[in-house]
Amino acid sequence: MNLKPKKVGLVVSTSLVVGNMIGAGVFVLPATLAKFGSISILGWVFTAAGAMVLAKIFSNMSKLFPSISGGPYTYSKAGFGDFIGFLVAWGYWISIWVSNAALVTAIISALSVFFPELKTNSILAVSIGLGTIWVLTWINSRGVSASGKFQVVTTILKLTPLVFVILLGVFYFNINNFPSFNLTESSDLVALAGAASFALYAFLGIESASIPAGSIKNPEKTIPRATMLGTIIATLVYILGTIVLFGMLPIDVLQNSPAPFADAGKIIGGEYAGYFVAAGAAVSALGCLNGWILMSGQLPMATAKDNMFPRIFKRENKNGAPYLGLIIGSILTSVIMLMNYTKGLVDQFSDLANLVVFTALIPYLFVAAAYIIVKIEKKLHFNNAFKTFALGTLGATYSIWAIFGAGTDIVFYGFLLLMAGIPFYVLMQWNKREK
């Protein structure tokens, strides 16, 4: 007898959003933002406002397309048709498995605090990295429920040291440590834009609950709640954490710290507290990788079910997991990770990692614009036309700003990366006609 795969609820869905947004980067990002000065707090607020707008759009779209997996792909396709839907899926899929390789590197880097040999022994580092990828792939092959349980545990474990520093750090707060408003040589407007651009990447992942929609209980209610709740939790952690660190660590120490949260932990509870926070960075990256490996199978599966990705991606095992899609994505991630540990290819990896930022941001633009189009087509905008147009326009405007904030080179080469998918799209259309 075939049992239906278990569906997940609000806790797991929220953990997907929080877990995919909060990776290892948040543990070091305050040091980067400290170089801008306390104006970076405004950068957080500005970026969080834009992220909340996008989160609201994804929440509303999930109500219009309940139980339909695919998230950014599904919503873009609904507004602009097959071609744009395919390009969004193509770019997003590439960004996942390339970014996952960077997450593996972050995990190994975090573990090197406890095992210094990882810094010098490439074979050991690669072995642990590959082992991590395939263990998490196996967990995800057991279905969304199994992956979700792992995500809940890692989300709790990653938030614990962050909340520890935020709550107890208040008692070690010294206003004299707080940096000046603008430490750059640029104008306040330019400095604000720079800080906001750095903060932006911490919000990638707000769409996570919408991608495995078919595996979520009461998706029309659960996904919107998880999306908004997850974004709010991440925003509070980001902003409060930055403020506390600004008051705990002298600016010269903070700016040059490779692990500012761990340094703050040492101030609060000594060496062991520092290690406790450092361990949180490894767990954070691990949970983030787990969530994005889940996405690496779910998104192409949704696309394949519309016959726009090869049908191999929609094959599911008895747990309802797209096991072949997961394997393909993890093979590609393994290859990219090996590139990162090969001398002479590091620069290429860094360039590729920067390019995928563009392919991750493009879906936000199309989903925001599609929101207006879909509401008009479904004739759902008449009672709240202003709200519909305002929300969609704000989301699209913010997305455009974010895309061009990534830099002209990244935009140009990212555009070429998307266009590289056109021959693949033509081939899939030809196959559909042949059938």
Band (381; pLDDT cuts 50, 70, 90): low
Query: Lowest mean pLDDT: which of 26-35, 114-123, 295-304, 337-346?
Result: 337-346
* Angle CA 332–336–341, to nearest 5: 145
Average pLDDT value for residue range 411-421: 85
Decide if 5 is inside a domain. no
Q: What's the pLDDT tens digit per position in 22-49?
A: 987 788 889 888 999 999 999 999 999 9
Decide if 2 is inside a domain. no
- The per-residue pLDDT for 369 is 95
Q: Which residues pair with 8 in a beta bridge?
A: 216
Decide if 1 is inside a domain. no
Does residue 196 carry a pLDDT above 80? yes
Question: Helices (H), strands (E): how many in the chain?
Answer: 16, 0
Decide if 59 is inside a domain. yes
Structure-block tokens of residue 131? 């082992």
Nearest to 33 by CA among 260, 226, 218, 237: 260
Average pLDDT value for residue range 51-70: 93
Compute the Cα dihedral for 425, 427, 428, 430 and give only its sign.
Answer: positive
Percent of the chain scoring above 70 in pLDDT: 94
Which CATH number do you get for residue 306? 1.20.1740.10
Decide if 3 is inside a domain. no
- The per-residue pLDDT for 344 is 45
Pairwise CA distance, residues 361 & 95, whole Å: 10
Total number of domains in the chain: 1
Decide if 414 is inside a domain. yes
Parent domain of 299 = 10-434
Pairwise CA distance, residues 391 & 57, whole Å: 7
Higher pLDDT, residue 358 or 332:
332
DSSP H or E segment with residue 271: helix 260-305
Decide if 140 is inside a domain. yes
Render 399-416 in DSSP notation, one character per residue.
HHHHHHHT-HHHHHHHHH
Decide if 202 is inside a domain. yes
Render 345-369 in DSSP notation, one character per residue.
SHHHHHHHHHHHHHHHHHHHHHHHH
Q: What's the pLDDT tens digit per position in 320-355?
A: 999 999 999 999 999 988 887 765 444 544 555 566
Query: pTM of whole model > 0.85?
Result: yes
